[in-house]
Structure formats: C-alpha cells, structure tokens
C-alpha cells in the first residue's frame, strides 16, 4: 500500500444545494428541465410571486448609490483618466458605451426574474441592451469604480481597482435582498492602468456561464444577468507572445451582495488611511456581518474569524467539484467568501493536484492542489491589513485563529468527500479510503467529475461484479493494480451502513456529484461559435448547467458527460481578456 498524506493541502464549509434527482431525462418528459420550465418557475411558487407583479418597464426599475456615496469620501478628481487615487473608496466613473450593433448573447432568467424582479421579456428591448452595456444609466445610478489593491502572484502590486468594471448601484428586491449591480467590460476608469477597459467575447462567455453554473452547483458566487456583445474591435495578445489579434467587445451585467475584497482593505492599510480603513470595516460589518455588534470591542477580531472560516469553507467546495480559480490574488478574494472575478479558471478533468488552469501561471502558484494554502496566504495578508485597528492582544488572538484555518479546511474536505462517496456516520478509516481512491485516480489519470458520478450511478450488484459497461471513468480507475483492494474496503464500509439501501445511496451521491461541469473544451466550443455570432451553444450550456446533477438527453447527445475530445488537451486559457 502507500502512505496517506494530505491530499488537498488545507480545508472548508457550506452544504450543496439540494437537487431533485431523476435517473434519466427525456426531453419530452414534462418533469425535465427545458426552456419552457426554468428554475425561476420554482422561485415564483416558492415565494408566491405572481408573474403579473414583475416589472415590465425598465424605466420603473431603480437602483441607488446613496448608501455608498453618503458613507464614504469620494475621489475628488473627476474623469476616467488613469491616476493614483488617495483617501477614498470609490471614484465616479461613467461607462463608455459599446459601439453597436449590440446583441443579447445570453440571459439568466433566474437572475432577471428571481433576483431583479424583471419580466424576462424586457431583455429583448433596445432599452435593456443599452442599460446592460453601459450606453444608458439605470434610474438612480451614479456609476462608480472601486479603488483596491492586492497581492498578485505573491507580491504587492499597489493600486489596482476596477479597471474595466462600473458599479451601477444597489437594488433591493421584493424579498428584501440587496444586490449590487456591476458592468464588466464597460470601458476605462481611473484604475485601468494601461488597459482599454474592455472585455472580449471569450472571457465574457466564460464568466457568464461559470457564474451561473457555480450557483447551480451550490457554491457561493457572484451571479450573471446578461451577456451583450458588439462589433466593436478590441485588440488582444491572448498568450502574450506578440500575436495581437482583433476580437469583439462584450459586457456582462453581474451581481453580488458585495464586491468588497481583501484588496479593498489592503490598499487603505498600505496607504496609512487608518480612519478610512475603520470606516470601511464598520460599513462591511454593519451591512454584511449583522450578528457582529458594532459596539463589540472585538468586532474586527470576530470579523476576521468569520472570514477565515468561510474562506476555508469556500475553497473546500471548489475542491469538491474540481474547480481551480486560476488567479487567487488577494484582489480576487471576496470578504463575503463568494467566488468572484472569473478569469482563467478551469474544472479539472483527469485528477491531478498539479492541474494549472492559467497558462500565464508559469510557476504553478495557483495549481488546484495549492488553492487551500493560497487561501491561507491571502488570509495572512488580510490580517496584516487589519493590524492597524487591532490591539497587540487581538493580533495574538487573530494569529491563533489563523492557525486553526487548516483544521477547519480539513474537516470540511473530509465531510464533502465522505458525502461524495455516500459514507454515513463516522469511521476512523474513512480518510484512508478517500486518500486511497484519489491516489488511484491520479495514477490512472481518471476523470475527476465522472469517476465520482459513475460511482453514484453504479449499483451494488455492479460494484460486486465489477460490471462497468459504458462507464468509461470507472473502467479507467479499475485498471489500477490496487483497485480490487480499494473496492473491497469500500463495499465493506457501505455494508455497515444500516437503513441505507442501494437506491438511497445512489440518490444521495447523485445530489452532490454533478454529471456536468463547465469543462474548458465545452466553453471553448461555445466561444468559437459565439465569435461567429452563433450563441446556440452558450444557451445550451447555460440551460444544461442549471441542472448539473440531473441526467439530460441533450447533454448526453452533445457529449458533455463523455470522454473529453483529444483536442481538449491542447487548450490554454490566459489572463489576457
């Protein structure tokens, strides 16, 4: 056998969204996901919201920037020209409209109706195209660009900020939720550095699809409402090799409960703006960490402890679905511990702790197996940013909290992978069973997503007979010389689970092991079509990935659960977008 070590590095918590599992979905079945039956339909019944109450006129839709403008000093300098900004959190910055013609490439009905209270029919209007691409301001909007800094690839990068994003305002929906709307790709701001403030189709398709796919996987994330593309030429050197090519501009309308990140605090601490640091911390705690009292003398310490725990939880969830963020800089780590700023991400195919989704990451700093340790690094930088507002005693206590990060992460990883294997109760050998499986997967290059999914779908009888017909990932795994040993341990462990029938086990496992994730080759196929103004595969992927745990006929026909094509191995994704 082999020694069991730490398979993933360090740990995290939050449960998967429960999903109704069907064995197989025929497109003619009325219970199947379809373009006629959307997740927002479930939302309406859950919240008893009538379609008649949805906003049908965009002029009635209002956002507000009042809280932010009244809470913080604004940049005293006007204009979108690049500059060093001091003593503020935001700069006023007007979006630069995309040059037309404009086209709605994708829309999330779940976001439009379920969060923004809009009738999805409004997205077909010229007004929506203008509002969602920066050509016209929503009623109440005072567009802002956020000032922040960050550690990029381990080094302090100084002032960064929203270089191609504009904050449009807050929207309070009928459930009382407050969401912050932002355009990405909407032109220059004071923080654009040498950039043009634009985003291109390939990165925008990826952000739109992955934001919504991660939400459907039950992982905390920003959301994407729409994707609008234009014919405006944008020049990019995609792989930084001197081959500049003309691409087309695009804008994503995205939402989050907050866009504040670790870098939001770092820039203030680094600049010695301690009063403003306290002001921002109090605002974030008051609005987003409501169990913490602003009168508590340890409020910043409790805030730090919460972020430590939730960051560990988030990264463990990433790992449980094989997701690698790709650019885990401190400016891309949310204070609310949600997934933000989708760049060169990737879902791991063959299990490999050294999987690197970002072709710009020459040293593999952000490889998937290092993500938990990078989370720890980023939290160390958060603690440094908080140090000016912590007493010496609180700093010592914060360091003790930080040392507990690894235990939190390891506990959550253990819980998540037990669930992926359908293991109930506690057994001292469960960690060994999980590690044994992952080692075999690594040595046989077994597919991460489909190995766990097919273990969810295989019956007890098939496991005992090792009948893996049409189960390509399990066939790969079973080629390992120790597979029989592992299988015997696994079957013995399952046999000790009382009142847990085979079908119950399969259903529980299917609820946490997706059949479909946004693999790079799938995104690339959709992008190639989108660049030729064919958005059919973007729509198809968005539809399928909204129900990733449910077997769908259209997805099977498209090969989304099949062995990845050979050309997928040659794909590269970079920071250039």
Annotated catalytic sites, by residue? Answer: 331
The answer to whether 379 and 387 are in contact (CB under 8 A) is: no
The DSSP letter of residue 185 is S
The answer to whether 515 and 551 are in contact (CB under 8 A) is: yes
Total Cβ atoms within 10 A of residue 423: 24
Give CA–CA dist 2/486, Å, rounded: 12
The answer to whether 335 and 261 are in contact (CB under 8 A) is: yes
Tokens 């933000």 label which residue? Answer: 340
Contacts of 153 (CB under 8 A, 6+ apart): 329, 361, 363, 365
Contacts of 318 (CB under 8 A, 6+ apart): 219, 324, 325, 339, 371
Q: What are phi and psi of 27, to 5 degrees?
A: -65, -20
Total Cβ atoms within 10 A of residue 103: 15
- HSE-CB of 315 using CA atoms within 13 angstroms: 34
Query: Closest Cα partner for 370 from 308, 443, 318?
Result: 318
Where are the alpha helices (H) located in 99-257, listed in sequence order?
109-114, 126-131, 201-216
Tokens 């939730």 label which residue? Answer: 310
Give CA–CA dist 282/288, Å, rounded: 10
């Amino acid at each position: 056998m082999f020694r069991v070590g730490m398979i993933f590095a360090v740990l995290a918590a939050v449960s998967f969204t429960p999903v109704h599992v069907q064995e197989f979905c025929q497109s003619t079945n009325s219970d199947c996901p379809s373009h006629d039956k959307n997740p927002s339909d479930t939302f309406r019944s859950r919240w008893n919201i009538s379609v008649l109450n949805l906003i049908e006129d965009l002029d009635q839709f209002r956002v507000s920037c009042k809280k932010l403008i009244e809470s913080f000093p604004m940049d005293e300098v006007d204009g979108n020209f690049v500059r060093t900004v001091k003593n503020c959190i935001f700069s006023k910055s007007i979006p630069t409209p995309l040059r037309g013609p404009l086209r709605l490439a994708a829309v999330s009905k779940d976001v439009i109706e379920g969060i923004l209270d809009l009738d999805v029919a409004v997205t077909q209007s010229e007004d929506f195209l203008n509002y969602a691409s920066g050509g016209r301001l929503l009623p109440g909007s005072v567009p802002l660009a956020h000032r922040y800094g960050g550690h990029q690839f381990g080094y302090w990068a100084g002032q960064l900020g929203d270089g191609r994003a504009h904050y449009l305002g807050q929207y309070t929906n009928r459930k009382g939720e407050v969401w912050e709307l932002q355009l990405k790709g909407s032109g220059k701001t004071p923080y654009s550095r040498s950039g043009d403030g634009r985003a291109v189709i390939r990165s925008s398709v990826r952000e739109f699809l992955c934001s919504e796919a991660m939400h459907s996987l039950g992982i905390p994330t920003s959301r994407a409402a729409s994707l609008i593309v234009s014919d405006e030429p944008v020049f990019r050197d995609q792989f930084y090799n001197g081959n500049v090519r003309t691409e087309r501009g695009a804008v994503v309308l995205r939402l989050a409960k907050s866009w504040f990140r670790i870098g939001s605090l770092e820039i203030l601490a680094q600049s010695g703006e301690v009063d403003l640091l306290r002001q921002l911390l109090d605002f974030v705690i008051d609005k987003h960490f409501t169990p913490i009292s602003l009168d508590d003398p340890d409020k910043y310490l409790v805030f730090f402890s919460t972020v430590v725990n939730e960051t560990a939880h988030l990264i463990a969830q990433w790992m449980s679905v094989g997701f690698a963020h790709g650019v885990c800089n401190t400016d891309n780590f949310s204070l609310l511990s949600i997934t933000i700023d989708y760049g060169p991400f990737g879902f791991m195919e063959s299990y490999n702790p050294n999987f690197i989704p970002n072709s710009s990451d020459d040293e593999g700093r952000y490889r998937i197996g290092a993500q938990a340790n990078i989370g720890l690094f980023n939290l160390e930088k958060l603690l440094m940013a908080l140090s000016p507002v912590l007493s010496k005693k609180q700093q010592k206590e914060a360091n003790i909290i930080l040392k507990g990060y690894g235990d939190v992460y390891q506990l959550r990883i253990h819980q998540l992978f037990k669930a992926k294997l359908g293991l109930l109760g506690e057994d001292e050998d469960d960690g060994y069973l999980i590690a044994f499986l992952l080692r075999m997967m690594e040595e046989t290059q077994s597919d991460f997503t489909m190995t766990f999914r097919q273990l969810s779908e295989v019956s007890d009888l098939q496991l005992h007979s090792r009948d893996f017909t049409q189960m390509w990932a399990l066939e790969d795994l079973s080629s390992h010389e120790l597979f029989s040993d592992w299988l015997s341990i696994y079957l013995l462990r399952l046999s000790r689970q009382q009142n847990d029938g085979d079908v119950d086990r399969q259903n529980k496992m299917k609820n946490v092991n997706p059949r479909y994730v946004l693999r790079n080759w799938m995104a690339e196929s959709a992008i190639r079509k989108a660049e030729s103004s064919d958005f059919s595969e973007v729509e198809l992927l968005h539809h399928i990935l909204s129900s990733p745990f449910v077997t769908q006929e259209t997805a099977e026909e498209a090969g989304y659960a099949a062995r990845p094509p050979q050309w997928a191995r040659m794909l590269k994704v970079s920071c250039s977008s």
